Structure 1
Amino acid sequence: MLNVPSGANNGLTLSEGRKNFKAFGACELSMKKYVRAPKANEI
């Protein structure tokens, strides 16, 4: 299931999304502008 493209996520797999999140903090680079910094209680 980790490498199955998701239709709801424009073909992005869970593995790709996880890799992207580790690299730049969002599932896709174009989505980074919608990601907020974590609150103190979320770290």
Structure 2
Amino acid sequence: MKHIKKLSARKAMAFQDFLYTVYRAFYDFRFQKKNEYYG
């Protein structure tokens, strides 16, 4: 049971990293668009 729990925890961490990467990419994209618009 412990092994499965550890695996799922690692999977959850990887998923969190993935979400964070997507969020950062989206945020950077919006920020660049805003700079192009105003600049």
- Whichever of the two has the greater Rg, that structure is 2
Is TM (by shorter chain) over 0.5? no
The higher relative CO (CA closer than 8 Å, separation ≥ 6) is in 1
TM-score normalised over the length of structure 1 = 0.31
Higher helix proportion, which one? 2
TM-score normalised over the length of structure 2 = 0.33
